[in-house]
Structure 1
Amino acid sequence: MAALSIQYFGPNGEPIPDRQELVFWNDQTGERDAYGIAIATACKTPEAGDIFSARYLRAMAQTLYTQLVDLKRRRAKELSQVETIENVTLTSERLNRIQQCISTLDRLLDGLDRKIVKDTLKKLNTWKGIKSVQKLLRDYTDGTKAQLEISAFVTELVKDTDEKNLILNDGVKPTRPSVNLLAILLRA
């Protein structure tokens, strides 16, 4: 049984405090995050004798190390998975074309203000790596929506972005996990 601390770091090595996890892992039952079972197992485990086989301890330590490395690989792979269908630079160019189009507008329609439009563009920029946003950007640069009058273009863009339910994320995106072993209980 082990207690693990998993921390995530941003691209500049800065820690991301809201992404830290404390994981209790019970290898006997195969459960992850099983606090009650982990504590019960620890309390029921009798004290070990004074003599352990060094081969047994090395084998247990190697197994634990292999499983921890595998856990770290899976967590790092989850961070690096981005659901893209096209080149990110092409998507950025599409977004820049939309921004240039919006900047030519003198005033916004009723119900829209600069903050709403700015937040919409921030959302699109933050989530430009996912398929649905890339399709939306493609439609507004090369598709049917690109032919709209500028005021209708901006209104439709804000409405379509809101329908995607994208969250405005100004936080740091985690790029690297760190797994620390806080405590371990070996059962002989």
Structure 2
Amino acid sequence: MAQTVYTQLVTLKNLRAKELSQVEPNENVTVTSERLNKIQQRISTLDSLPNGLDRKTVKDTLRKLNTWKGIKSVQKLLRDYTDGTKAQLETLDFVTELVQDTDEKNLTLGDEIRPTKLSVNLLAILLRA
């Protein structure tokens, strides 16, 4: 029974470890900020937003990207939308896909405390049982 609990805890720890914050940025924050500015400038040229999107949703998306621009996956997303294949999209499709791709990252607004380390103590859990 202890082995089963241990195996489940190791599995849980591995799942949670994937969600931990990435501390070291992949590229310079200045470069990432410039990429975000390019995206904002392109969006600001629109007269109207695509169907299904409102101004608040787009602003929230840009704020999320700005808040989490130090994370490698966000930097990759910004790179793809400035220099990659997504940069070639029509502006309306560009905005729609940017919002969708950002939502897939499950980013939250604000500068909340982010976990950077996870440890599990089996003895402490067994003592509580």
| TM-score, scaled relative to structure 1 | 0.47
Give the helix-richer structure, 1 or 2: 2
Give the strand-richer structure, 1 or 2: 1
Give distance in 1, aligned partners of 2:41 and 2:53: 18
Structure 2 residue aligned with 1:91, among 28, 32, 45? 32
**Hey, what does 2:55 align to over in structure 1?**
114
Unaligned segments of structure 2, at least 5 residues: 1-21, 115-129
Runs (4+) of structure 1 exceeding 3 A deviation are none
Q: Deviations over 1:62-91 (max 9, x none)?
A: xxxxxxxxxxxxxxxxxxx72311000000
* Corresponding pairs, count: 94
Q: Percent identity?
A: 80
What do you get for the CA RMSD once the two structures are aligned? Answer: 1.8
Q: Are 2:103 and 1:162 aligned? A: yes
Measured at CA, do residues 170 and 85 of structure 1 come closer, stay the same or move farther in structure 2, by a change above 3 Å?
A: closer
Q: How far off is 1:169 after superposition?
A: 1.3
Structure 2 residue aligned with 1:147, among 88, 91, 94? 88
Which amino acid in structure 1 is aligned with residue 23 of structure 2? V
Q: How far off is 1:110 after superposition?
A: 1.3
**Hey, what does 2:10 align to over in structure 1?**
none
Give distance in 2, aligned partners of 1:154 and 1:120: 10
Larger Rg belongs to: 1
Unaligned segments of structure 1, at least 5 residues: 1-80, 175-188
Give distance in 1, aligned partners of 2:51 and 2:92: 10
